[in-house]
Chain A
Amino acid sequence: MSIFSSKKSWIQLTIWVLIIALIIAAPTLLPVFRLNLLGRYLSLAIVALGVDLIWGFTGMLSLGQGIFFALGGYCTAMFLQLNSSEEFPNGIPEFFGLYGVEKLPFFWEPFKSSIFTLISIWLLPAIISALLGYLVFRNRIKGVYFSILTQAALLVFFNFFNGQQKLINGTNGLKTDVTQLFGQMVGSEIMQRWFFWISAVLVILAWFFARWIVRDRFGNILIGIRDDEARVRFTGYNPVIFKTIIFSIAGGLAGISGALYTVQSGIVSPQFMTVPFSIEMVVWVAVGGRGTLLGAILGAVFINYAKSLVSEALPASWMFIQGGLFILVVTALPEGVLGWFRKGGLKKLLFLIGINKKLETYPGLEVNEQGEVKS
Chain B
Amino acid sequence: MSSPLLELKQISVSFEGFLALRDLDLVLNKGDLRAVIGPNGAGKTTFLDVITGKVLPTKGDVIFKEKSLLGQKEFRIARKGIGRKFQSPRIFENLSVQENLALSVSRPKTPFSLLIDNLKVKHLDEIQHLMSIVNLQSKANIRAGALSHGQKQWLEIAMLVGQDPDLLLVDEPVAGLTDEETDLTADLLKSLAGDHTVLVIDHDMEFIRRLDCPVSVLHQGHVLKEGSMSEIQKDPLVIEVYLGQSEEEE
The yes or no answer to B103 lying at the interface (CB within 8 A) is: yes
Please give, as numbers and ranges, the residues of chain B lying within 8 Å of A245 by CB-CB distance.
Answer: 111
Query: Is A228 in contact with B90, judged by CB distance below 8 angstroms?
Result: yes
The yes or no answer to B104 lying at the interface (CB within 8 A) is: yes
Q: Which single residue of chain B is at the shortest CB-CB distance from A236?
A: B78
Which A residues, 13 to 56, have Cβ-Cβ distances below 8 Å to chain B? Answer: none
Query: Is B52 in contact with A235, judged by CB distance below 8 angstroms?
Result: no
Partner of B52, one of A213, A220, A234: A234
Bitwise, B110-141 to A at CB < 8 A (1) or not (0) is 11001100110000000000000000000000
The yes or no answer to B102 lying at the interface (CB within 8 A) is: yes
* B83 CB to nearest chain A CB (Å): 7
* A229 CB to nearest chain B CB (Å): 10
Query: Is A218 in contact with B115, judged by CB distance below 8 angstroms?
Result: yes
Q: In the complex the two chains form, what is the Cα distance from A218 to B119 in whole Å?
A: 12
Please give, as numbers and ranges, the residues of chain B lying within 8 Å of A224 by CB-CB distance.
Answer: 92, 95, 103
Q: In the complex the two chains form, what is the Cα distance from A237 to B77 in whole Å?
A: 10
The yes or no answer to A221 lying at the interface (CB within 8 A) is: yes
The yes or no answer to A231 lying at the interface (CB within 8 A) is: yes
Which B residues, 59 to 106, have Cβ-Cβ distances below 8 Å to chain A? Answer: 73-75, 78-79, 83-84, 86, 90-95, 99, 102-104, 106
Query: Is B114 in contact with A216, judged by CB distance below 8 angstroms?
Result: yes
Please give, as numbers and ranges, the residues of chain A lying within 8 Å of B115 by CB-CB distance.
Answer: 213, 216, 218
Query: Is A217 in contact with B102, judged by CB distance below 8 angstroms?
Result: yes
Bitwise, A210-242 to B at CB < 8 A (1) or not (0) is 000100111011011001101101111111011
Number of interface residues of B (CB under 8 A): 30
Q: In the complex the two chains form, what is the Cα distance from A231 to B103 in whole Å?
A: 11
Please give, as numbers and ranges, the residues of chain B lying within 8 Å of A218 by CB-CB distance.
Answer: 111, 114-115
Partner of A234, one of B78, B94, B102, B114: B78
The yes or no answer to B208 lying at the interface (CB within 8 A) is: no
Most buried by A among B54, B102, B111: B111
Partner of A220, one of B79, B84, B99: B99
The verdict on A237 contacting B75 (CB below 8 Å), with A218-B115, A220-B103 known, is yes
Query: Is B83 in contact with A223, judged by CB distance below 8 angstroms?
Result: no
The yes or no answer to B159 lying at the interface (CB within 8 A) is: yes
Q: In terms of DSSP, what is the predominant structure of the interface of chain A?
A: helix
The yes or no answer to B109 lying at the interface (CB within 8 A) is: yes
Which A residues, 319 to 356, have Cβ-Cβ distances below 8 Å to chain B? Answer: none
The verdict on A217 contacting B73 (CB below 8 Å), with A224-B95, A236-B78 known, is no
Query: Is B95 in contact with A233, judged by CB distance below 8 angstroms?
Result: no
Partner of B79, one of A213, A227, A236, A241: A236
Query: Is A234 in contact with B109, judged by CB distance below 8 angstroms?
Result: no
Most buried by A among B73, B75, B79, B118: B75
Partner of A227, one of B52, B83, B94, B102: B94
Q: Which single residue of chain A is at the shortest CB-CB distance from B90?
A: A231
* A58 CB to nearest chain B CB (Å): 12
Q: In the complex the two chains form, what is the Cα distance from A242 to B113 in whole Å?
A: 12
* B51 CB to nearest chain A CB (Å): 11
* B50 CB to nearest chain A CB (Å): 14
Most buried by A among B73, B94, B159: B94
* A332 CB to nearest chain B CB (Å): 21
Q: In the complex the two chains form, what is the Cα distance from A90 to B68 in whole Å?
A: 65
Q: Which single residue of chain A is at the shortest CB-CB distance from B83?
A: A234
Query: Is B75 in contact with A217, judged by CB distance below 8 angstroms?
Result: no
Q: Which single residue of chain B is at the shortest CB-CB distance from A238?
A: B75
Q: In the complex the two chains form, what is the Cα distance from A34 to B10 in whole Å?
A: 74
The yes or no answer to B163 lying at the interface (CB within 8 A) is: yes
The verdict on A233 contacting B92 (CB below 8 Å), with A221-B103, A242-B111 known, is no
Q: In the complex the two chains form, what is the Cα distance from A239 to B111 in whole Å?
A: 10
Please give, as numbers and ranges, the residues of chain A lying within 8 Å of B83 by CB-CB distance.
Answer: 234
The verdict on A234 contacting B95 (CB below 8 Å), with A218-B111, A220-B103, A221-B103 known, is no
Bitwise, A271-299 to B at CB < 8 A (1) or not (0) is 00000000000000000000000000000
Please give, as numbers and ranges, the residues of chain B lying within 8 Å of A213 by CB-CB distance.
Answer: 115
Q: In the complex the two chains form, what is the Cα distance from A238 to B108 in whole Å?
A: 12
* A357 CB to nearest chain B CB (Å): 29
* A222 CB to nearest chain B CB (Å): 10
Query: Is A223 in contact with B94, judged by CB distance below 8 angstroms?
Result: yes
Known A224-B92, A230-B54; further 10 A-B contacts with Cβ < 8 A: A213-B115, A218-B111, A228-B91, A231-B91, A231-B92, A233-B74, A235-B78, A235-B163, A236-B75, A242-B111
Q: List 7 tightest A-B contacts by C-beta distance, closest first.
A: A236-B78, A218-B114, A233-B74, A217-B114, A218-B115, A236-B79, A238-B75
**A–B Cβ pairs within 8 angstroms, 30 of them:** A216-B114, A216-B115, A216-B118, A217-B99, A217-B103, A217-B114, A220-B92, A223-B92, A223-B95, A224-B95, A227-B92, A228-B91, A230-B54, A230-B90, A231-B91, A231-B92, A234-B52, A234-B74, A234-B75, A234-B86, A235-B75, A235-B109, A235-B159, A236-B78, A236-B79, A237-B103, A238-B73, A239-B75, A241-B111, A242-B111
